[in-house]
Amino acid sequence: MPNQHSETPLLETRGLTKVFGSLRACDGIDLAIAPGEVHALLGENGAGKSTLVKMLFGVLDPSGGEILWKGNPVGIGSPAEARRTGIGMVFQHFSLFEALTVAENIALALDGNVPIDRISEEARRLSVEYGLPLDPSAHVADLSVGERQRIEIVRALLQNPELIILDEPTSVLTPQEADKLFETLAKLKAEGRSVLYISHRLEEVQRICDRATVLRHGKVTGACNPREETPSSLARMMVGSEVASVSYAGAQEPGDVLVEVRSLSAPARTPFAVALRDIDLTVRAGEVIAIAGVAGNGQSELFDVLSGEVTVSDAESVRFAGMDAGRKGITERRLMGCSFVPEERHGHAAVPNMNLSGNLVLSRYASDRKTFLTGGWLSLINQGPVSAATRRISAQMDVRKSLEDPPAGSLSGGNLQKFIVGRELDRQPRVLVVNQPTWGVDAGAASRIRQALVDLAKSGSAVIVISQDLDEVFEIASRISVINEGRLSMPEPAASMTRERIGLLMGGFHDGSGHAQAEAVDAH
């Protein structure tokens, strides 16, 4: 540490600035990354982190300031130049091509004419070595968010960079996968490479990062050694105020059964999808059930079957508040008092090019017909109540936006997610099913969303949260279940659940024998 200042930084920025119109997204950023250092970049959504790394990777041209590589000023005009310089990047919003295979996606980011077969081989080898299993011949369209992120990581590693920039790499990984990634990072560090690590997870930053630079509103608000700070002091630097911790009343008396899933099976719809096998789940009023699991184990398939995006032939295998729903579509299930928040914000939970009020009408026109529509069979949109509801939801969830009613796609990830969750909560659903409620969302927004989910359950609704974030699972769940290869474990009370047990269930140790095996493993 003492000689860090005498050493020439691998990468340094001086007064780096990017202006979009009147917005100063980055305003005079000074940053220095030493060789072999894991450097954290902290900040809320919209703090300017993504803009900063896009300039470092040559995707955006800086409006002012300079970038120095090993002490020499460089102009990074394109990602290809960045790669030649020795900078690799894992994007937050994946730069993947859905219609192409994993190997083809990787090949596109590599220079030169390496044959696809060799890339497949290399990718398979690297992905196993770094604990990020991938099938090079799978099409990206069939992969889950978590698997897509693995492609990004392996793709960056294949380029053998001196500096690797990771934008929120662990948000969809299991603890075990994240540990593997940290081993990878430690290995990269030992090889003398540097890492610029962007994360909202403060514990993680403290665990693996040597230094941290904190951004707020496009400016550097602090530089520190994260190990000498506490999570709350880091959060304060980031947010400028304390982050409220979620309060969960815990064991309260569960009420009526609101969700009943009985022997639910569904075949895989594509060669790469997961079949659901014999799923049983009962959720009572006042409960938050969390479904943990590694990405790609049937989470999206389970969500689709619960939401009615995919119907099943056995009407009685899914029941809401005592009504058969297996064959019912999404709108009919919404009319039963259920609400759903899918994983993908853009294009699934919201139409990016439509404004917020339009997105509100799209999801609630049937359930709130009397409020939002007028003119009888003409079904005209009643703009007054729609605008009022949009304002109410935005205020309730603290959605920050520049216009009164902006297009959904112009909001940052966290703000859009707050709006989407708020849109469903606003109608006080009896049953809420959420998939990955806080993926890629900053700490402040995430705690607000979690609190809202807990409050909904307290008010007497049943909440199902599908999440790969174990911190989140433990923070809000009353009972926890684990999905593995399309099978769901028996939900267990959160109080008696441990991370080790979840890890075992994720690995496929099920029910009855599970305890015995868990003990057997613990005994080692």
Binding site for other proteins (CB under 8 A): 58-61, 78-83, 91, 94-100, 104, 107-109, 113, 116, 139, 141, 270
Closest distance to other proteins from the beta carbon of 79 (Å):
3
Give backbone dihedrals phi and psi of 320, rounded to 5 degrees, phi first. -115, 125
19 vs 223 by CB, closer to other proteins: 19
Closest distance to other proteins from the beta carbon of 95 (Å):
4
78 vs 230 by CB, closer to other proteins: 78
Closest distance to other proteins from the beta carbon of 57 (Å):
8
107 vs 283 by CB, closer to other proteins: 107
Closest distance to other proteins from the beta carbon of 131 (Å):
25
d(CA 508, CA 293): 10
Give backbone dihedrals phi and psi of 409, rounded to 5 degrees, phi first. -70, -15
Start-end of H helices in 220-323: 231-239, 299-307
Closest distance to other proteins from the beta carbon of 103 (Å):
10
106 vs 505 by CB, closer to other proteins: 106
113 vs 241 by CB, closer to other proteins: 113
Best CA proximity match to 264, nearest among 210, 206, 207, 324: 324
Q: SS3 of 383, please?
A: helix
78 vs 379 by CB, closer to other proteins: 78
Closest distance to other proteins from the beta carbon of 209 (Å):
25
In SS3 terms, 199-242 reads as CCCHHHHHHHCCEEEEEECCEEEEEECHHHCCHHHHHHHHHCCC
User: How far, in whole angstroms, is CA 371 from its chain's centroid?
Assistant: 33
13 vs 159 by CB, closer to other proteins: 159
Closest distance to other proteins from the beta carbon of 227 (Å):
33
Residue 444 structure tokens: 């402040």
Closest distance to other proteins from the beta carbon of 406 (Å):
18
Closest distance to other proteins from the beta carbon of 329 (Å):
19
Amino acid present at 292: A
Per-residue burial over 319-354, b if 16 or more Cβ lie within 10 Å, else e, is bbbeeebbebebeebbebbbbbbbbebeeebbbeee
178 vs 273 by CB, closer to other proteins: 273
79 vs 460 by CB, closer to other proteins: 79
Q: What beta strand segments (E) does 326-425 contain?
A: 338-341, 373-374, 380-381
Closest distance to other proteins from the beta carbon of 416 (Å):
17
d(CA 265, CA 250): 31
β-strand 288-292 against 479-484: which pairing, if any? parallel
* HSE-up (13 A, CA, CB side) for residue 142: 16
Helix/strand/coil percent split, the chain, to 5: 40, 25, 40
39 vs 148 by CB, closer to other proteins: 148
Q: Tokens 């959904």 sit at which residue? A: 408
The angle at the Cα of 44, spanning 41 to 48, to the nearest 5 degrees, equals 65
Q: What beta strand segments (E) does 360-452 contain?
A: 373-374, 380-381, 431-435
56 vs 433 by CB, closer to other proteins: 56
Closest distance to other proteins from the beta carbon of 11 (Å):
18
Q: Tokens 């090993």 sit at which residue? A: 70
